[in-house]
Amino acid sequence: MKFIDEVQIFAKSGHGGRGAVNFRREKLVPRGGPDGGDGGRGGNVIFVVDAQMGSLLDLRYKKNYIAKDGDPGAGNHKHGKNGEDMLVRVPRGTRVLDHDNHILCDLSDEQQEFVCFQGGRGGKGNSFFKTSVNQAPEQFQPGEDGEEGAIRLELKLLADIGIIGYPNVGKSTLISRISSARPKMADYEFTTLIPNLGVVSIGEFRSIVVADIPGLIPGAHNGAGLGIRFLKHIERTRGFVHLIDVSDYSGREPFQDFEDINYELKMYDEAHSGEEDFLPLMNRTQIIALNKIDAVSPERMELTKRSFEKLGYKVVLISAFCGHGLKELTQEMGNLVIKEQELESAE
């Protein structure tokens, strides 16, 4: 697996350069006086969003990020060169946390860079300390220390819609049919080991981002199967497509599958309820997509559809493999996103 969504690194900003102690000594220039310049500022540690990055893999093998120190000052009032900043490139959607897991910054759409550690200020040279009563000062400042510490980076993918459901219900097939994403697909559980993103057109000049999340099974909150590690990647979504296999060959009951997955979402909410800015997953709108309708009797399909509609859910009948119902599903996904955007604008 080459998808890394959590890493811990060490970062340190640069030390400020020392101020210079120097006196001007030139022929025919009596009493030249002090001319020691100031030291340069130490480099900052800056996290920068890189749109080309899809995971934190590049940061897994390099653990230390140290900015350059500022250069010392020099005579003739020369200011030391500022230290070069250390730019740490991360994917869009990365959260920066300190060693106590407090969120320092969330590099989402609104913010593209974050100065994590400021470089130390450069020290003053002796020319700064010249006064009417102290014409030849030898004082100087050594420059301030930089800041340092352990930083944890956590990637949460930014998507409008998250596709959730049991393993092997057709999530990867669905995202491959409605977008240009090409996830790995096979007829066994846990084919999808990492989240996949796809861009779906919902009209002229408009599109949404959809995330295919690895499947859940009962007990995932206790580590069963792939666990719930990847559920954090749907925390940022505006709603879900809950994909359910209704075929006669699944060996499971669709409504029980629905309850099982929602129980895992509930357990995830309870485990993360105390975190900063956490929005419960169970509060998101869910569109029920009943998949594999080409392999189910009409009577069972209609009965299953009505059972979900009685609970107030929007239900769409689809066959991801054959392409049936996909246009209606993408329209409903677009309507959900637009509605949520309007609610956000009204707040």
- 91-137 pLDDT tens trace: 989 999 998 888 999 998 677 899 999 999 999 999 999 998 898 89
Q: Is 159 exposed, middle or buried (0-12, 13-18, 19+ CB in 10 A)?
A: buried
Domains along the chain with CATH numbers: 1-155 (2.70.210.12), 161-346 (3.40.50.300)
Tokens read off for 49: 């969003």
pLDDT, tens digit, 9 for 90 and up, residues 167-195: 888 888 899 898 876 666 555 565 666 78
Distance CA(105)–CA(117), nearest Å, equals 12
Mean pLDDT across 223-230: 76
Name the residue with higher pLDDT: 315 or 228. Answer: 315
Query: What is the per-residue burial (b if ≥16 Cβ within 10 Å, else e) of 118-146?
Result: bbbbbbbbbbbbbeeeeeebeebbbbbeb
Distance CA(304)–CA(310), nearest Å, equals 10
161-164 and 196-203 as β-strands: parallel, antiparallel, unpaired?
unpaired
- What pLDDT, on a 0 to 100 scale, did the predictor assign at position 1? 47
- What pLDDT, on a 0 to 100 scale, did the predictor assign at position 30? 66
Residue carrying the six token digits 């859940």 = 216
Cβ contact 212:206 at 8 Å: no
Task: Provide the mean pLDDT of the chain.
Answer: 88
Mean pLDDT across 330-339: 92
Distance CA(182)–CA(210), nearest Å, equals 13
- What pLDDT, on a 0 to 100 scale, did the predictor assign at position 256? 93
Helix (H) or strand (E) holding 272: helix 254-272
- What pLDDT, on a 0 to 100 scale, did the predictor assign at position 189? 60
- What pLDDT, on a 0 to 100 scale, did the predictor assign at position 236? 87
pTM of the model: 0.78
Q: Is the pLDDT of residue 79 over 60?
A: yes
Q: Is the pLDDT of residue 9 over 70?
A: yes
- What pLDDT, on a 0 to 100 scale, did the predictor assign at position 196? 81
- What pLDDT, on a 0 to 100 scale, did the predictor assign at position 184? 60
Name the residue with higher pLDDT: 200 or 204. Answer: 200
Mean pLDDT across 12-35: 87
